[in-house]
Amino acid sequence: MATLPSQPPTEAEIRALVAEVISRLRAVSPGAAPALSSPPPRASVVSPAAAGVPPAIPLAEQVITLTVVDRLPAGTARVAIGPRSVVTPSARERLADLGIAIDRGSPAGSAPAPARPFVVARVECPGDTAATAARVARAVPCAQQLPATGMADVIAALSVQASRDGARSLLLTGRPATVTILANRSRSLRAVTGRDVPGLLAAATETAANLIVVNPKDLSAGSLERLAVEFTRRAEAPLPPELVSVAEGCGCKGH
């Protein structure tokens, strides 16, 4: 699939390109073809061979703007961008609104990070959040959703996922404080809650949390997707010393 055209070059870029071409033409002998520079590397594309993963449309732009997104063909499900490409906030919001996932390539010479299980769950959510949960799950490769059942059942399922597979999870609920307290009773879960993406990520990093609990009314669908993507990409951090004894338990039979 051909890469979508980049933004029109600026006048300064055109002058620089013309100057380079003229310089190269003067450097070669008469009649010889000028040695043109190699084309810029394309953004890496996720292979469509993976089961259930639609092919991604590669975007070569270093800055993905709203204009670039609006040029995408109808029905686009995924886009692939380079490891250093920047997505503007308005473009990210539009991609989220369209339900388009972003695949970011790995820098040359580095091995891709191992896939970490990611779970999206819902408990007593205000309104219909099924579509929002599905969009959040699509933003993270290989993410899975839990059915919206009772609070205790969902917490138990997330606890099993965390202890068995080291999964991280995002739980949408209208009762974030209650769910967070209940989740933190589990030995395998470390849950945090909040109302904004930076605060939630900071709390998760500080506590090495593996579960973020949030009320979907506090964040837009695009913000929830960004939260999920950044949360699952965070490197594994050691448990803070203050929490080690809590995680190990006190050894009595009353807890």
Same domain membership, residue 213 and residue 154 = yes
**pTM, 2 dp:** 0.55
The domain tally of the chain equals: 2
Would 21 be classed as within a structural domain? Answer: no
**pLDDT greater than 60 at residue 116:** yes
Q: Which helix (H) or strand (E) holds 85?
A: none
Which has the minimum average pLDDT: 2-16, 88-102, 234-248?
2-16
Q: Model confidence at 40, in pLDDT bands (50, 70, 90)?
A: very low
Q: Residue 160: which of 126, 123, 212, 117 has the closest Cα?
A: 117
Residues 178 and 214 in one domain: yes
Q: What is the pLDDT of residues 16-32, one digit of tens each?
A: 666 665 666 565 545 54
CB 76 within 8 A of CB 57: yes
Question: 143-190: per-residue pLDDT in tens?
Answer: 899 988 899 999 999 999 999 888 999 999 999 999 999 999 999 999
Closest CA to 212 of 222, 203, 223: 203
Q: How far apart are CA 28 and CA 46, in angstroms?
A: 40
Do 91 and 196 lie in a common domain?
no
pLDDT of residue 26: 62
Beta bridge partners of 120: 145, 170
**Residue 131: closest CA among 81, 97, 175:** 97
Q: Domain of 65?
A: 57-104
Domain boundary among 73, 104, 135: 104
